[in-house]
Amino acid sequence: MKLVSGNSNRPLAEAISQYLDLPLTECAVRRFADQEVFVEIRENVRGEDVFVIQSTSYPANDNLMELLIIIDALVRASARRITAVVPYFGYARQDRKMGGRTPISAKLVANIITRAGADRVLTVDLHAGQIQGFFDIPTDNLYIAPVMSRDIKERYTLDNLMVVSPDVGGVVRARELAKRIDAPLAIVDKRRERPGESEVMNIIGNVAGRDCILFDDIVDSGGTLCNAADALLAADAKSVAAFITHGVLSGGAVARIEASRLEELVITDSIAATDAIKQADKLRVVSIAPLIGEAISRTALEKSVSSLFD
């Protein structure tokens, strides 16, 4: 088995390498003067089971191209099987037609990864579960609920907690976490007027006196979380924290979170933390390296991955 890392999230790749006690394969990923990507695999991978670790986070297109070119290099180097390990799958929010004459970009990216030569895909908390069906190759979607529930149990008093979905679309995800920590569930009903902005309408469920945990897969601008926190506190919630899988946190999101009424925002290292995230008082990062490392190990040994979540 071989591990190969692109440049998108080297710290996570190194943590996975440490978990598996397997060094990263020497691989040069660099740019020509015009930013064209060049890849050189500097170790023999012929006949090997290779796992390529690369999130397609910002800059999404550059990191996607790195992934594709690494896969192509491995195909031409006669790797036996190539698994694209994509902790954060960019373009996942474009999983359906949003209007007339618009693309389904998640399907396009799935096609490109497949055509590049990947034999399997391993990812974490897809924005929509049906994206697994966009791939014509086996795809494992790792759920983050076990990792987050373990962290919550270590840090919170469970008897007063309430899990809250920040929108109707995330109810299934939030219900899974609520089940694991034996907590009730509430829903924020919101109306999005335009991209990047949201308006909270009302709270479904009684949150008065509760310590609320907002649970979702992606935080980008942070507007939804901040508005949801304000709405929950206006409904007499005792406190509000947020647990989110992928911390995209674009633009002024970190400053927005810092100025918000959230007690804390917990994200994973599926996307490499920026300096702003590292310095923020309200942001905390939990590692998914053990989760991905165990999934890689089980895939290589042809063992069950789904049993990780039993």
Residue 44 sits in the same domain as residue 27: yes
Range of the domain at 6: 2-142
User: Tens digit of pLDDT for each residue in 36-80?
Assistant: 999 999 999 999 999 999 999 999 999 999 999 999 999 999 999
Query: Where residue 34 falls among pLDDT bands split at 50, 70, 90?
Result: very high
In a domain, 309, yes or no: no
Crossing angle (nearest 10°) for helices 145-155 and 171-181: 50
Q: How many domains does the chain have?
A: 2
Question: Among 121, 142, 163, where does a domain finish?
Answer: 142
In a domain, 303, yes or no: no
In a domain, 38, yes or no: yes
Residue 156 sits in the same domain as residue 119: no
Residue 96 sits in the same domain as residue 137: yes
Catalytic residues: 190
**Predicted structure pTM score:** 0.94
CATH number reported for the structural domain that contains residue 99 in this entry: 3.40.50.2020
What is the model's pLDDT at position 224?
Answer: 87
205-209, long-range: CB < 8 A, 24+ apart: 205/162, 205/164, 207/162, 207/164, 207/232, 207/235, 207/236, 207/237, 208/235, 208/236, 208/237, 209/160, 209/236, 209/237, 209/238
Question: Among 116, 142, 168, where does a domain finish?
Answer: 142
Residue 119 sits in the same domain as residue 161: no
Residue 73 sits in the same domain as residue 159: no
269 assigned binding-site residue: no
209 assigned binding-site residue: no
Crossing angle (nearest 10°) for helices 10-20 and 289-300: 60
Residue 12 sits in the same domain as residue 89: yes
246 assigned binding-site residue: no
User: Tens digit of pLDDT for each residue in 248-291?
Assistant: 999 999 999 999 999 999 999 999 999 999 999 999 999 999 99
Report the distance separating Cα 267 and Cα 169, nearest Å.
Answer: 19
293 assigned binding-site residue: no
Residue 157 sits in the same domain as residue 116: no
